[in-house]
Amino acid sequence: MAEQADRLIVDLVAGARPNFMKLAPVHRALKLRPELETRIIHTGQHYDHGMTGVFFEELRIPEPAVHLGVGSGSHGAQTARILESYEAHLLSAPPSAIVVFGDVNSTIACALAAVKLGIPVVHVEAGLRSFDRTMPEEINRILTDSIAELLLVSEHSGLDNLRNEGIADSRVRLVGNVMIDTLVEELARVDDAVLARHGLEPGEYGLVTMHRPSNVDDPRTLRGMVEVLVEIGRSLPLVFPIHPRTRRALDASGLAGLLHAGDGVRCLDPIPYRENLALMRGAKVVLTDSGGMQEETTHLGVPCLTLRENTERPVTTTIGTSRLVGSDPEAILTAFRDVAEGRWPAGERVPLWDGHAAERVAREIAEWLARR
């Protein structure tokens, strides 16, 4: 095993926006373990300041030890570039283990590079399944779980999914949701003036985010989404921070004009973590295809129309505040009316989404490394 001054080295890998809020609390918790040395690896899958740098600053994540700088590309090209450059790093400075988060291309690419060199992999947010293999993330989840040695699960469904795939229980632990640790920590730091700066009153606006290929890449689907947002915007002002993929799709399809013509929809560039948290907390309703925001709205008790046909996070719909509405404008409008007229469950807190998941993650990793 790789050691530095008698300490075991653990690489924490992140690359895309949803990774950073998961890495932050795990990094802090691992730093408290004197026997471990952590190294942050940034693949560069996301590279705009608004998609990455701002989260490092806000969430007080130190500068990465290594930045692979891979950038955008097709799935094959991006995954291959990460694989090749992370392998070179692993060969020159092998850690004792690596930790990967979530389901983005950086997750599978780095897990694969490590496992081929005999370096064990820990997967945080293991076991989630949408059962929709047209989603790139579903492929990343299945493959990462099949090669990771320690699988740390955020909600109960993950235990069943991994068992059904024949993964031994001894590799699996239910630890809770590290992203909720960040939410709990950062709520106290939210600037109460955010809503006023946007000219919004609590409970009197909706927040929209949308970036999944299934919603934005096909101009016909995108048109339906834009039209329904404009329609909802007539009765409830909407704030819409726009992901770069969506911005590109709106510009290429000529639908940006339609969106701007409805003055009920306020378009913004991607926003920092705490600003998003403030807008989510104060919203009457959130419309999103983000997996993370399904979980965050459940924790906050805010109604969430999930703009997807399926979810890998079923607890957000069974005991949480989320309902799957897909991309059908009629279904979205019906659900919106249910929220507007008060027909929406208040939801319950999810077990182990308690702000202490990263402590459990750090303990499991330390004990597992000590046993190996």
45 binds ligand UD1 (CB under 6 A): yes
Stretch that binds ligand UD1, among 29-37, 44-52, 191-199, 316-324 (CB under 6 A): 44-52
Alpha carbon distance 259, 222 (integer Å): 11
Task: Give the residue from 139, 138, 172 showing the smallest Cα distance to 154.
Answer: 172
Q: How far is the CB of 245 from ligand UD1 (least distance, A)?
A: 4
Alpha carbon distance 134, 358 (integer Å): 31
For ligand UD1, give the closer residue by CB, 240 or 336: 240
> What are the structure tokens assigned to 30, written together?
């691992």
For ligand UD1, give the closer residue by CB, 27 or 211: 211
For ligand UD1, give the closer residue by CB, 242 or 366: 242
Give the three-class secondary structure for 72: coil
> What are the structure tokens assigned to 323, written together?
């309902």
51 binds ligand UD1 (CB under 6 A): yes
Q: How far is the CB of 47 from ligand UD1 (least distance, A)?
A: 4
Stretch that binds ligand UD1, among 43-51, 57-65, 271-279, 334-342 (CB under 6 A): 43-51
**What sign results for the dihedral spanned by CA atoms 251, 254, 255, 257?**
positive
Alpha carbon distance 282, 204 (integer Å): 8
Q: How far is the CB of 209 from ligand UD1 (least distance, A)?
A: 9
137 binds ligand UD1 (CB under 6 A): yes
Distance of CA 232 to the CA centre of its chain: 26
| Residues binding ligand UD1: number (CB under 6 A) | 19
Order the strands of the 304-306 sheet from edge to edge. 265-268, 238-241, 206-209, 285-288, 304-306, 322-324
> Judged by CB under 6 A, which of 48, 263, 309, 367 binds ligand UD1?
48
250 binds ligand UD1 (CB under 6 A): no
DSSP string, 245-291: HHHHHHHHHT-HHHHHHSTTEEEE----HHHHHHHHHH-SEEEE--H
142 binds ligand UD1 (CB under 6 A): no
Task: Write the binding mask 273 to 312 for ligand UD1: x where contact by CB under 6 A, - elsewhere.
Answer: ----------------------------------------
Stretch that binds ligand UD1, among 45-53, 202-210, 320-328, 358-366 (CB under 6 A): 45-53
DSSP string, 303-355: -EEE-SS--S-THHHHTSSEEE-TT-HHHHHHHHHHHHTT-S----PPTT-SS
For ligand UD1, give the closer residue by CB, 102 or 237: 102
- The yes-or-no answer on residue 211 being catalytic is yes
Spell out the residues 6+ positions from residue 244 whose beta carbon is closer than 8 angstroms to its own.
48, 51, 270
> Judged by CB under 6 A, which of 53, 94, 219, 244 binds ligand UD1?
244
128 binds ligand UD1 (CB under 6 A): no
At which residue do the structure tokens 């700066």 appear?
197
Of 42, 89, 123, 211, the catalytic one is 211
For ligand UD1, give the closer residue by CB, 27 or 46: 46
> Would you please indicate which residues are annotated as catalytic (active-site) residues?
211
* Contacting positions for ligand UD1 (CB under 6 A): 16-18, 45-48, 51, 72, 103-105, 136-137, 211, 243-245, 248
